[in-house]
Amino acid sequence: MKYLVLLLLALCPLIAVAEPAPGVARLAQVGGPERQIDLTIWYPSDTEAAEVVGGNAVFRGATAAPAAPLPTGRLPLVIVSHGGLRSATDSGAWLSAALARRDMIAVEVNGPRVTGAGDAVDEIWQRPRDIVATMDRVLSDPVWSRHVDTNRISVVGFALGGTAALLAGGARIDPAIFAASCDGAGGPDCGWLERQGRTLADVRRDRLDRMRGDPRVASVVAVAPEYRAAWQDGMGRMSAPAHIVRLGAPGGPAPDGATLAAIPDAAPADAFAVCTETGSRILREDGGDPALCASSPDARRAVHARLLDQVLEGLAARTRQ
């Protein structure tokens, strides 16, 4: 009997993924030699799951079917830019998989992992460039370009990725306000930057000044975007409709040119995946933020369902103006 129990326990991970799942594929080393990004492509499929994507010791991943047959026809393309400066690869897998289950092609952008503050201060303009490079790569690919409806290209972003999504859609950022964003209350990475002797004032302002939106973007959804004071006055220049989702109190009216929704009983951490049973402990032991795993699995799944509804609502405005 003991060996039967051990066998069943060993088979549990396999049983957990033996269900229909979205297809998944990867494109590696996209972009130029100075900054290469990796793309994880999610697409509709009813093939049996055989892999878990985006899982680690802290967060649970999403089930996927690698090498599943590609969809027929042309589908909406959603580029997903998830997480802040130090988010792990495929941290938005739960959202990308959910979008693929709703007959979209979702491409999560995985940029180089930021390890030092010297590179981090320039992520504000690098992330929108990654989004543009992703569009270029997918639309030029001999396989994937045949499956994309080029009139329905959207960007969904969370945290710093949410700010990048707005900038890719045409919002403008004020370099001076951004450079001073750590003054006073500060932001989520201000302490980390300061401990390494860097500030946001070290950003390459010339790159911020030259940033422009991409006209191929038909709509933007930004979840808890960072550095609000620096971009909220530049929303009027957007060429794409934007939907902003705040996790927590609404915090004032919507910026000009955008619609606004809030999930008052949620926290920004709830946009991350469901945590493992040991996630909170690992974060404490490694000097991370245990608040990332403050919500119970059921509570976080409930927020995910409401957040997905808001993302879909924002994507419904993708008709070009």
Sketch the domain layout of the chain as residue ranges. 22-315
DSSP string across 68-130: PPPPSS-EEEEEEE-S-TTPPTTTTHHHHHHHHTTT-EEEEEE-PPP-SHHHHTTHHHHHHHH
Range with the lowest mean pLDDT among 151-155, 181-185, 210-214? 181-185
CB atoms within 10 A of CB 229: 11
Length of the chain (residues): 321
Q: What is the CATH number of domain 22-315?
A: 3.40.50.1820
The reported pTM is 0.91
Residue 250 has pLDDT above 90, yes or no: no
**What's the mean pLDDT when you consider all of the chain?**
88
Question: Per residue in 117-173, pLDDT tens?
Answer: 888 899 999 999 999 999 999 999 999 999 999 999 999 999 999 999 999 999 999
Alpha-carbon distance of 284 to 278, in angstroms, equals 10
Instruction: Measure CA 282 to chain center.
Output: 23
Rounded percentage of the chain residues whose pLDDT exceeds 70: 92
